Amino acid sequence: MQTICLYFQVHQPFRLKSYRFFDIGNDHYYYDDYTNESILNKVATNCYLPTNQLLLKLIKQQKGDFKITFSISGVAIEQFKLYAPEVLSSFRELAQTGMVEFLAETYSHSLVALKDSDEFIRQVKKHADLIEENFGIRPGVFRNTELIYSNQIGNMVANMGYKTMLTEGAPHILNWRSPDYLYHGETEVSLNLLLKNYKLSDDIAFRFGDMEWSEWPLSPKKYVRWLLEKDQSQVINLFMDYETFGEHQEKHTGIFNFLKNFPVEALKTQLIRFTTPSEISKKLKPVAPLNVKHPISWADEERDLTAWLGNEMQQEAFNKLYSHLPEINNCDDPLILKDWELLQCSDHFYYMCTKFNEDGDVHAYFNPYSSPYKAFINYMNILNDFSLRLASLSKKQETDNFLNELITQLTKKELDLDKIESELDNFRKNLVFNKNYQSA
């Protein structure tokens, strides 16, 4: 029996408006509301709503045999609430079937795991709370932003109590081994690792509509045959962006017909079953440890961090952002804290990528800026304004703290004076009493 784990990532960043140097210090609102609403409604119409409806129908038809998994970022859920509440309702309807698992991730879809453990833990907890609030189930499996994983990150995830985590089946960490098995962490043996089969995943996510692809057109029967040919596998993990359906691969490519018929063809063989990460972790035993000294991700041929932190612009922006952590930890201003969350989205750093050749097409597709340099300048202008606001708040807090301390000291001295005055009154009364007593 071939086990399939079908997982979808759902994420939309809050895109930034064009922010000029002269706006610094004058304009503290950073977001392009029109673009954000337009894009979300477009993706909702093309992808989220029709795909959710299709999956709901499949789940009901297959009566417990078809299961899927989602990871929905906190900032995506915020946009659903703002611009398309019907999308959130449709995800809740999927959750009510009991055939859908929702994963934990960072609330802001951020790269914070590379920088600060406390902020990482805070974001993961906030996201888990949000998932439980909206879908009634607290996540038990973790998926880090961009599938980024390392031994160190695995330790943090395990220390938070998670027993299973998803990551990339990067060839350079597997060597001769297959991604189609359950592994465990090198230093955290209690943490099970599910690895993406990027070849079979990308056949749908990236190559499906490519008429120059040697395997085009990809039919459900052909794809099921490929799955069955991997008869020595424990589990085949098909991980992809949810926007694959109707957005990255448009409706005219036949992607919805593929999704509609693929599970039916697979289950018809009686040799394939669909399951969730939690079920896999309970049923299967890891075959070996996975040693990942340097972080891996899903992106590009290298499967490393260079898509987000590969050049000096990205590193400068990333380091400047997180240099504010000490101030943020002492901040209670809700507007600044909200901006802090939204400015951490990994997308902002992805837009600054300067890779070209084969990887460049992917980066160009996702990038709303005409160049990575414009993305960098725009982000840094905003970050400079954010820095000024933090500094101003810190000065105000210092002044407030000074005044509060001064008031405390004055209050203490006033109480001391009252005590002395009371003692003097008692002394005067005793003095008068004694004088009167002696006269008598």
Cα–Cα dist 254/292, whole Å? 38
Bridge partners (DSSP) listed for residue 110? 345
Sign of CA dihedral 240, 245, 249, 254: positive
> In terms of DSSP H, where are the helices of 136-284?
151-159, 171-174, 198-205, 220-229, 255-268, 277-283
Active site residues: 146
Cα–Cα dist 12/203, whole Å? 23
Query: Is the Cβ–Cβ distance between 165 and 294 less than 8 Å?
Result: no
Q: How many CA atoms lie within 13 A of 299 on its CB side?
A: 23
Helices (H) and strands (E) in the chain, counts: 18, 10
DSSP letters of 362-431?
HHHHH--SSSHHHHHHHHHHHHHHHHHHHHHHHHHHHHHHHHHHHHHHHHHHHHHHHHHHHHHHHHHHHH
What secondary structure letter does DSSP report for 48? I
Bridge partners (DSSP) listed for residue 7? 69, 239
Assign 170 to helix, strand or coil: coil
Burial class (CB in 10 A: 0-12, 13-18, 19+), 102: buried
Query: Is the Cβ–Cβ distance between 99 and 56 less than 8 Å?
Result: no
Bridge partners (DSSP) listed for residue 218? none
Measured in whole angstroms, the distance separating CA 138 from the mean position of its chain's CA atoms is: 16
